[in-house]
Structures are given as structure tokens and as C-alpha cells.
Structure 1
Amino acid sequence: MPIIGNIIKGFIEVRDKLSGERNPIDEQKQVLKKLLTEANETAFGEHYDFDDILESEDIAKAYSKKIPFHDYNKINDEWWHQLHEGKTDVTWPGKPHYFALSSGTTGNTSKRIPVTDEMVSAIRNAGIQQVYALSNFDLPADFFEKDILMLGSSTDLEKVDDHEEGEISGISASNIPNWFRGYYKPGEDIAEIDDWDERVAKIAEKAETWDVGALSGIPSWIELMLEKVIEHHNLKNIHELWPNLQVYTSGGVAFGPYEKSFNALLGHPITIIDTYLASEGFVAFQARPETDAMQLVTDGGIYFEFVPFKPEYINQDGSLVDDAPSITLGEVQKGQDYVLIISTVSGAWRYIIGDTIEFTDVERAEIKITGRTKFFLNTVGSQLSVNKLDDAVQHLEEKFSMKIPEYTLCANRIDEEFYHCWYLGSEDAKDGSTLADALDEHLKQANKNYKVARSKALKGVKVTVVKPDAFHEWNGENKKKGGQVKMEKVMNEEKFAQWQTFVKENGY
């Protein structure tokens, strides 16, 4: 009988019931007031007169009117660079002990995003909230006695001057609570290995000594790790080695495109729980099994704003026009795509995180990630967001009984005519022309703007099928394998030319 598991499960269930009803709108008002109060004596707070904003009748309205939008380049060039020059109290009191490195999905140069002690605490608290929410998933008591394999970036952070640098998953894993260390796999020694392939090889070697009940990580890298473990132990599926594997906590990207290839590695279905941990903070997590949407963490270290995701508000490079209107959580509507804007306890102010979301349940503040602002394919008026592209790829998987865990595309000029050129990552050999016709037809039916574009400037669709390894190795060469690294779904013409050369030279 799982005595410890029953105790833990009972505690979680009682704690969840005692937490009471949430009011996300009120929580957000309190978070904004706290952020402004804490940072009012910083250089940023004095420059934008936070004291005056705090005295306003409508703090949220005064805040959005007075503070401009910031992307990484703007806030780093104007403010964060001072942190590396030894200055304190720049955009948040004191100096951050960590910087999260993130190349995102649109560039090779790493961003260095401040991570304060308050943010580390906020991320930990959000994780605890997610643990409490497990009471909604009716998991058996013995689940709470199993190992949890967290596959993030290396926890061997780089010491730079008076702070440490690494990816946010590595920073978070290096700050896990002591009580959790007994459950945590692959363990500190393996987690510190910086080389991705070496770390996965060690995981494969040690895998048979663990009783894994849950996995956590970005889908593409989790799949690759599972494949290596299965191959190393000559298994048919991962449940032959880890029969008690019951939960996978996904994160960083929509799980839908990976569902078919991921399930092929399992012996039976498991519970999938989505999370939204970005380099800038823990944004949301799935709190109940009735939906795959995620609940915003509205009582932590992040204040949220939302800009309607409409072409007139978005520049070609994915940035927002200066006068784009933003709204609060109390004003959002279900089913509308929004650009997500955050202000945080790490000193990010009206920061464009780069993701687009939609609300599936306004009262519960539940969202789905719908794409990236820079992955909005509108070169010839087709107005395709990532969720539309994901849907099209899933349509191909169903129509042709194939697995396509990765893809990328570009609105590419060929002989002065625009084509949507797709690369699909799949082990299933299919005719590119047939796939192109199916993609084209599906998108015409699903998106009227695409249909109009196809009758005018968009000449056609081309599809090339390559091995999924091409995407993993591309990331390894241009960024780094594992961790928070995600494949860019939409490339510009310059990057796409580099991608085509890479595929050709490496024989994918």
C-alpha cells in the first residue's frame, strides 16, 4: 500500500479545497499595485513616475497610458544593459542573481533576461500551485511516490561577475526545494552535463534504475530522449521500462503537433498536462483535466495585458505599433487572439513576450498559446498564425496516416513569384506534390484570407519531406540542443536560404 503516496495525495486534496475560489481580475489588480510599489524608487520607476500612477483612480489605465511597450532590444538598450555595468535599482530593486539566456526562435544571439530572487520564488510558487492542481486529475496514490524526470537545460550555470547565467529551466532546476530532490531525476550530476547528447546518453544508461511516473520538458526534446532510451534498452515502447509512467507535463510549445509521434513511443495513453514556462516567468499551467487550456498565474509575479492580434497593430518584424491598444484581464473576450504583454518582478515592464494567446474560458482565465508574433505569415496577405499552420499539419497527419513532429516554412520568391515553401519533418516517405495539394486545399477552406491570397499574389505551395533529425541538428548548430530551444515555424527568406543549404549539405 502506498502509504507516503496516500499522505501526499490527501494533503494536496485538502490544500486545494482550502484555497477557496479565485478572482483572477482582483488578483491582477493587486499584482500591478505591488509591482509599482516595489519598483517606484528604481531608475525606471522614477523616470516614469510610478508614484503618480499609484495615485490614479484607475491605476491600470494610467499605467498603460504612461509606459511604452518594450521588446527585448528596447528595454535592454535603454535599461537592462546598465545591470552589466554594475548599476543597481535599474528596473527592479537591487541586482538580479541570475540572467536567463534565450535565443528564442528568431535569432542566434542570446538574450540575457534578468531573473530576480522574487522571480525564482514566483516560479517555485507557481509550480507548487500546479502540484496542488493535480488533485483535479484523479491520479492514484502511488503516483506521488514515483520519480519525476525533468528534461531541461543544464543546471551547471555559468558564473559571470556577480551573477549566474543559463536557460530558465536550468535556473529553475538548480533552485528546486530540498523536499523535491528525492523525486527529481536525472539527478544533479547528470543535470549539470552541458552537452545534450552526453546528458541523454547518461540518462539512457541510468534509466533502468528509476521508477519514473512523470516527465517534464519540451516535446521535441522529450521525444528524442525517449527514442534514445528505447533504443539503448532495445524496447518496443517506454512503458516496458517505466510501467508506472502516467503523466507528461509539456511546455513551451503547443503539444498538438507532437501528439501522434509522442504517443507512438508509449505502451498506453498517459495524462498530458500543458505548462507555459517562458524565460521571463511561469505564465500558466493546465489546472483541470476537462480542458487542455492553461490557467494564467494571476496571483504571482506577473501582470498581464493583451493587445488584439490584428494586422493593423503588428509591424512586419512582429513588433507592435506604438499606439496599439491594450486591454486588461477584465476586458478580454473568448476566442480572440491577443499579443501577450507582461510586467514582472524581474523588472520587465509592458514587455512583449512574443507569444499570441486566446482565451477559452474568461472567468477561469484559461488560455491557449496560438503562435508567435514573428511567426505570423502575412507576406502576401495570407494572414496565417501558428495555430492555423499546426492545424494544417495535423490535417496531413490524419489524412495520410503519417507523423510530422516538426515543420518550418517560408513565403519564398521563386522567379519573382511567391510560394509557400514547406519542409515537413517525418520518417514517413510521402510525395511532396500530393502533400502540397492537400495543404493548399485545407488552408483555403480554413482561412478566407489565405484563399484570397492564393487567387492573387501567392502562386502556390511546395512541400519537401526531410528526416526529423534535420530540425534537431539545425537547432544544435544554430542555437543549442535541448532545454528551452524551439524550432522556428516561419522563417524569413535569408534564414530559409541558410536552412535549405544546411539540409542539402547534410543529406537530409
Structure 2
Amino acid sequence: MISTVLTWAVQRRLASIHHFRDNPHEVQQAVLHSLLHMARTTAWGRRYGYADVPSAREFSQRVPISSYEELYPEIERVLRGEADVLWPGRAEWFAKSSGTTNARSKFIPVTRASLHEGHYRAGRDMTALATLYYPETDALGGKTLSLGGTHGPNPFRPDDPASHVGDVSAVIMQNLPAWAEFIRTPPLELALLDEWEEKIERIARHVLTADVRVLAGVPTWMIVLLRRVTELAGAESIVDVWPRLGLFLHGAVAFGPYRELFRQLIPSDRMHYLEIYNASEGYLALQDEPDSEDLLLLLGHGIYYEFLPADQWDAPEPRTIGLEAVELGRTYALIISTNAGLWRYKIGDTVRFTSLAPYRIRIVGRTKHFLNAFGEEVVVENADAAVAAACQATGTTVRDYTAAPIYFAAHEEASRGGHQWLLEFTEPPADLLHFARILDETLRQLNSDYDAKRHRDLALRPPQVLAVPTGTFVQWLARRGKLGGQHKVPRLSNSRELVDEILEQLKK
């Protein structure tokens, strides 16, 4: 009965999904109008004249595009407890993530509005679609095993017990409505542990006898947990432990390189996978069709979108375009304004539209995470697909990887650069050179710029592929204090800093 009632309740969201799919521009204009009206009396709203609720064009002309570093002076005021700076009232929760140049971590305000109109509304949307497409799983009749991070006191207000910072997953779990907390496992005291080795062990023991039907989390850490549960149960596979397991809601990293590994861990024809795009800055998109990897852009969830074409990324006065002007196949940097007080905020992700009716996207990479040392313009989407193809061709799977340039140097190949790939395999392929050839060939098929640079090895020599020992990337994350939660190894970088750190680590 409980499952029936909950399913009926969440499926009421289906009408709202259809509404913003069918009326995207009207919904987005309403979101912008609401954001500006709500923030009109804040310090930021007064500075940029929100009181007269400017049009979309006026808004883009008045308000500058801001990176985290540029918006940080206002965010710091919010962190220190000042009210009505970027959004009405005081923010008590902050999502902590990496990816800034001015500090070790970013602190993104999470307001009540962004939680309830964004994260939780989108969560109900995802649940509604899951129950619609996979009714046989009866997802709400059992437990959802959600694996997230941790939170702690706000370092800017250490004596204020009401203010916290943490992984966005931990912020969401700590504030879940009662109905959602009822269907999830493990309990918060285990889910929010900050020591990841202890967390995995204690959660694995706790969920051994649970009726787990849905998994939710980052693939890398879910793999570790599933293996430990299977080991503790003395089972052949996780299906023997949780026979009604039928769905994995995954995000944070591209799933392609992990797909075959999950097929091995969960050898069941009734297992399904849906991707979500839930960042510290907001819940932006979700997979709304089972047979497509494209993500439906969430348009009625407190986020107003603008898009920055690639030729504008480094322009002194970059010009964005609105949703109505985007084109299929082009790469755009996302610019968002949110009900957490992020205004024309450069989130750092790049997307490509695969459909305009409705608006669906694929995450291509990061404005900072790509390989373009020699004009090859390799984005994360290319890299993930190439790794997946090489894995399939060599019968192996990859736990994690990163790649960086081999820059020109004073040696016999000084006229050519290259790429160095560090990969952590479940089982290294018998022929690593064959893996490298498939990786290279796939990149050439996917990326014409890379192919041009690789033509006759004139500008780029073949990729150098190194298999690193199990645990290499976990050790690197641990050394940087980023073990667990939303933290992940950057896939691509134009700097050799990460690769050189790992290579140095392996020498010790």
C-alpha cells in the first residue's frame, strides 16, 4: 500500500515534465522573472536593477558573467552569515566541491528554494520516470541505497551550529523530506561518515539483509561497495544478495567506461541504468528516455540557462545566446542563474545539444578539463568513448583514468607532442599496445582535429598508455584530502601537474 501511494504521488510530476518539455521558452522566461523578482531587494539585485524585472536581453547586458573566483567576494559574505546578499535571507548550507584556483575548495550556497524547487523536485521527476518505465522493479516498495559524502561545520562560522558545508549529496540527504528518508538506506549516521574506508565497511555490513532495489551514487564508489557486499555475503554476485535490484541512478562521471564492469558486477537482464546531472550548483538534467543516453534539460527547477559558444569562451566581453538560439551539434559552456543566488555563473561544464524538441543535451566536458595542447581539442566525451571502445576490444574494464600532454622537449621527437594516459584496469589487457591502438583509432574517428594532428604522426605521436596499480587514484585523492563524496579524478588536463604527481607517487 505504501509503495502504491508513493508511486501515485511521484507520478503526479509527469504532467509537469510534459509541460516544460512542450513549453520550454515560456517556462524559462517565467523562471527568470521569478528569480529577478525574488532577488530584487538583495544587495546584488539592487546593484543591477532587478526591481524593474529586466527582460532577458537587458539582464544579459546589465549583469556580468562570473566565474566562482569573480563571484567569491559576495559568496564569502554569505558564508560569514550576512543576509540578503545574493538571495533573500541567510544561507545555512553550502555545497563544497573542488575546481577553483583561489582556494582548495568551492563553497556553493544551497538555499531552501534550491533544495526544494531544484534538487528535490528533480528527484521526484527522476523517481516518476523510473516508476513509469520500470514498474516491475517496484522501486518504492524497497530501499534505495544512496552513497554520498559528508558534511561538517561552516569554517567561516565555526561557532554557529546551524551552518554547515559538505558534499552536495550529504546536504541533500541531511535535509530529505520524511517520505524520501523512509525509502533510503543506510541510516544517516552511516551515510554521512567522513572516513571512507570505515564508511564502506559499515554500510556494506548494514545493507547485507536489506531489500535494496535501487542504487544511487557515483559509479567509482558504488563498485567498491558492491564488491564488499558480495564478498561479505559469500555470494557469486550482488544479484544473489539483492534479487530485486533493478535500477542504478548514476552521476558525477561519465558511465561509458564503467558500463561493462557493472554488467559483470550485476549480471541481470532486469537491471537498468539512468543518468542524472546533479551538480553542487543545481540539478540540471536527467535521462528521460531508457534507450537514449541524452539528458533532458530541466527548465522549471529554479535555474535560468544561457549558453556561451566556444568562440566566446576567451572573449574579453563574451556574448551568450538563449535557449531559443542554440544549435544541434555545437559545444556550449553553460551559464546559469539560480535560486541559490548564482547570477550568470560560469559553472565550467560544456554541453552539446542532441535534440531541440525537447531540449536534450550531452555533457561534453569542462571548459578547463580538455586536451588542447596542440590544437587537437579532445574533450571528455571523446576520451570516455575511446576508453570504452578500447576496453571492449581488449576484454577489460577501467576503474579510472587521466590523460595529459607530453609537451615538446629537447630530444629526438622534439617536433612532435603526444598524450600520456594513466589507466587503472580491473585486469590489465594482455596486449597494452593493442589497447593503445584502439584508443588512438577511436579518437581519430570521433575527433577530426585530433585526426588531423595524428596524420602521419606529423604533429602528434601515438598515445603513450601506462597501466597503473590498483588503488593508485584512490591514494592520490586521499593525499589531497579528497577521498569520497563528489570528488573525482580529472579525466583530461592541459597541465601535467596531476600526471606527474601520480608518477612521482608510484616511485615511492
TM-score by length of structure 1 reads 0.91
Quote the Cα distance in structure 2 between the aligned partners of 1:211 and 1:135. Answer: 17
Shift of the alpha carbon at 1:414? 6.0
| Residue range with higher mean Cα deviation, 359-368 or 431-440 | 431-440
Question: Does the Cα contact within 8 Å between 1:253 and 1:369 map onto a contact in 2?
Answer: no
Residues 164-202 of structure 1 deviation map (CA, whole Å, 9 limit, x = unaligned):
111111000001111222211011221131111101100
The answer as to 2:39 corresponding to 1:39 is: yes
Q: For 1:60-209, list aligned pairs within 5 A.
A: 60-77=56-73, 79-104=74-99, 109-122=104-117, 123-140=119-136, 142-154=138-150, 160-162=158-160, 163-209=163-209
Report 1:388-427 matches (<5 A): 388-413=382-407, 415-416=409-410, 417=414, 418-427=417-426
Q: How does 1:286-325 map to 2 (within 5 A)?
A: 286-308=287-309, 310=310, 312-314=311-313, 320-325=314-319
- The offset of 1:321, in angstroms, is 2.9
470, 484, 491: which one pairs with 2:486? 484
Structure 1 segment 199-348 matched on structure 2, within 5 A: 199-269=199-269, 270-308=271-309, 310=310, 312-314=311-313, 320-348=314-342
SS at match of 1:459: coil
Aligned ranges 1:362-373 → 2 under 5 Å = 362-373=356-367
Alpha-carbon distance in 1 for matches of 2:32, 2:132: 29
* Structure 1 residue 155: Cα displacement: 5.2
How far has the Cα of 1:49 moved from its partner? 1.9
The Cα offsets for residues 81-101 of structure 1, whole Å up to 9 and x where unpaired, read as 222444322111222111111
Q: 1:220 to 1:33 in 2, by over 3 A?
A: same
Assess if the C-alpha contact under 8 Å between 1:249 and 1:273 holds in 2: yes
Q: Could you tell me which of 338, 346, 365 is aligned with 1:352?
A: 346
The one-letter amino acid of 1:471's match is F
The alignment partner of 1:335 has SS state of coil
TM-score for both structures, normalised by structure 2: 0.91
> Residue 329 and residue 323 in structure 1: after superposition, are their counterparts in 2 closer, same or farther (change >3 A)?
same
- Partner Cα separation in structure 2 for residue 285 and residue 415 of structure 1: 44
Tell me whether 98-107 or 224-233 shows the greater mean CA deviation.
98-107
Verify: 1:441 aligned to 2:441, yes or no.
yes
> Could you give the per-residue CA deviations for residues 8-30 of structure 1, whole angstroms, max 9, x where no partner exists?
33454465358753312211111
TM-aligned CA distance change 1:134 to 1:494, over 3 Å: closer
Aligned to 2:14: 16
What stretches of structure 1 of length at least 5 have no aligned partner?
315-319
> Aligned equivalents of 2:177 and 2:340: distance in 1?
21
Distance 1:213 1:444 in 2: 40
Change (3 A) 1:241 1:384: same
- CA 1:105–1:186 in 2, change beyond 3 Å: closer, same or farther? farther
Instruction: Note closer, same or farther for the CA distance 1:392–1:18 as it changes in structure 2 (3 Å cut).
Output: closer
Q: 1:18 to 1:386 in 2, by over 3 A?
A: closer
* Unaligned segments of structure 2, at least 5 residues: none
The Cα of 1:444 is off from its aligned counterpart by 2.5
Q: Distance in 2 between matches of 1:161 and 1:120?
A: 24
What does residue 317 of structure 1 align with? none
Q: Which amino acid aligns with 1:485?
A: H
Instruction: Work out the number of aligned pairs and report it.
Output: 491
Measured in 2, the distance between the counterparts of 1:125 and 1:14 equals 11
How big is the shift at 1:7? 4.0
Confirm or deny that 1:496 pairs with 2:492. Answer: no
**Does the residue aligned with 1:295 lie in a helix, a strand or coil?**
strand
Counterpart code for 1:343: S
Percent sequence identity over matched residues? 32
Q: Describe the SS at the equivalent of 2:65.
A: coil
C-alpha displacement of 1:106:
8.2
Mapped partners of 1:338, 1:369: distance in 2: 10
After alignment, is 236-245 or 365-374 more displaced? Answer: 365-374
Secondary structure in 2 matching 1:458: coil
CA change 1:252–1:157 in 2 (3 A) is farther
| Whole-angstrom distance in 1 between the partners of 2:482 and 2:111 | 24
Contact 1:156 1:170 in 2 (8 A): no
Do the aligned partners of 1:118 and 1:346 also contact (CA within 8 Å) in 2? yes
Q: What is the identity, as a one-letter code, of the residue corresponding to 1:29?
A: Q
- CA deviation string 1:34-84 (max 9, x = no partner): 1111112212112222235x24xxx1111112212111111003x212224
